Amino acid sequence: MKASIITIGDEILIGQIVDTNSGFIAKSLDRIGVEIHEMISISDNKQHILSTFEKLQDKVDLVIITGGLGPTKDDITKKTFCDYFDDELIQNDQVLKHVTQIIEGFYKRKITQLNIDQALVPSKCTVLHNQVGTAPGMWMKKGNTVFISLPGVPFEMKYLVENEIIPKIVIEYQRPYIIHKTVLTYGIGESLLAETIENWENNLPDFIKLAYLPSPGRVRLRLSARGANKDFLEKSISENVTSLSKILGNSIVGFEDDETLEKVIGRLLIQQNKTISTAESCTGGKVAQILTSVAGASNYFKGSVVSYATETKISILGISEDLIEKYSVVSAEVAKQMAINVQKLLKTDYAIATTGNAGPSKGDSNAEVGTVFIALATPNEVIVEEFNFGQPRDKVIDRAAVKSLEMLRKEILKNVQ
């Protein structure tokens, strides 16, 4: 079963807003075994919409459209639906009652003609009732293709997908099973990773596909299996992940998209009743931002000193001017002292410090652009490593932040029984 997803709106095409709807819809359909054929963004133009419908007609089973269902003149999806299906708009009493309750009951103002017109729907459509907004969804079939129109407002779209569309598809269509398993690896680049697991990859069964999803400091490996027997697919995925784990060992941090490095670290710190702080220069608070993105981080993350300027390292962190003058602000010695001092200042078990030249210029040091020193203070010692992450600037910052967390995880794991 195949689906295409269309987002309608000039605001998307000019970059004024980012399309998040397509990703949510795609994930929701994938979970029930619907294959995504393509995602398209098109303009608020009647002929463009009609030609796109015609192109997809009988090529896919589902076409899901978001946008263009508001009350203003530039929202033309309903009228375009009528043209494509040779239909006319009629007032739906149930939708009108709902719209009236929202406008007059919740917003406490008199309903206008624009609001009333929200209850107009093509006469041949199945109305998808939108309990969290005023624009109803529409389900219409032509030939072998179902066209589904949804409002572009994300929370309204999500409600209709979860409560109207997915249940209806599950009931009305036979679908294969699609099983995904995502393995999170850190500290090994994509090309080296591919070489390391080449034989394992070559021996995967034909019904399991492998995808490499790289980002700075991290590569996700997604295994996807498709077939009619769910138990068989899950068993096969599990067996192949087990054999992969034996090859990669500690390079595997976790599984699935929600088992990120920062979540693993948070769980380990809580289990060991340990705390962490950071002193950041070149990363500008990136390490702290990643750590605090996890719910419950206050249980182990005590704070950060973003000592971006040299004088801040001196006045807040207490780094000696003589030390900076002797070794430069981008040095192993300064990184080490930053980690020790923030560990003492915030009274934590672990502390991370970063100092470097992210670029594009060298700043207060003659160290090469891309050079970063990362120090990790543990309860027993201080570890300092030097890296050169190259360019551009964003890459240096991202890779330095991820490498800091890799170092932290490695040290914490030494104390896991």
Q: What is the pLDDT of residue 222?
A: 94
Q: What is the pLDDT of residue 365?
A: 66
Q: What is the pLDDT of residue 71?
A: 65
pLDDT at 183 over 90: yes
Q: What is the pLDDT of residue 21?
A: 94
Q: What is the pLDDT of residue 273?
A: 96
What are the residues whose beta carbons fall under 8 Å from the beta carbon of 401, sequence distance 6 or more? 217, 283, 286, 287, 290, 354
Q: Which of 114, 47, 43, 117 is nearest to 83 (CA)?
A: 47
Same fold, 2-172 and 177-255: no
pLDDT at 200 over 90: yes
Range 169-198 average pLDDT? 91
pLDDT in tens, 129-144: 999 998 899 999 999 9
pLDDT at 258 over 70: no
Range 311-336 average pLDDT? 96
Q: What is the pLDDT of residue 231?
A: 94
Range 71-88 average pLDDT? 85
pLDDT in tens, 93-116: 999 999 999 999 888 999 998 889
Q: Are 11 and 17 in contact (CB under 8 A)?
A: yes
Average pLDDT, the chain: 92
Write the class of the CATH domain 177-255: alpha beta
Tokens encoding 31: 């979970």
Is the omega angle on the peptide bond into residue 392 within 30 degrees of 0, that is, cis? yes
Q: What is the pLDDT of residue 415?
A: 77
Residues of the chain with pLDDT > 90: what percent? Answer: 74
Range 311-333 average pLDDT? 96
Where do the structural domains in the chain lie, given as residue ranges? Answer: 2-172, 177-255, 261-413
39 to 23, 52, 127, 211, 258: CA distances (angstroms): 9, 12, 24, 19, 24
Give 362's pLDDT tier (boundaries 50, 70, 90): low
Higher-pLDDT residue of 253 and 309 is 309
Range 196-222 average pLDDT? 93
pLDDT at 82 over 70: yes
The fold of the 2-172 domain, in CATH, is Molybdenum Cofactor Biosythetic Enzyme; Chain A (3.40.980)
Q: What is the pLDDT of residue 307?
A: 95
Three-state secondary-structure class, residue 212 = strand
Q: What is the pLDDT of residue 186?
A: 84
pLDDT at 75 over 90: no
DSSP string, 186-201: ESS-HHHHHHHTHHHH
Q: Which CATH number fits domain 261-413: 3.40.50.970, 3.30.1490.100, 3.60.120.10, 3.90.950.20?
A: 3.90.950.20
Q: What is the pLDDT of residue 390?
A: 86
pLDDT at 218 over 90: no
Three-state secondary-structure class, residue 14 = coil
Lowest mean pLDDT among 107-116, 203-212, 289-298, 328-337: 107-116
Range 4-21 average pLDDT? 91
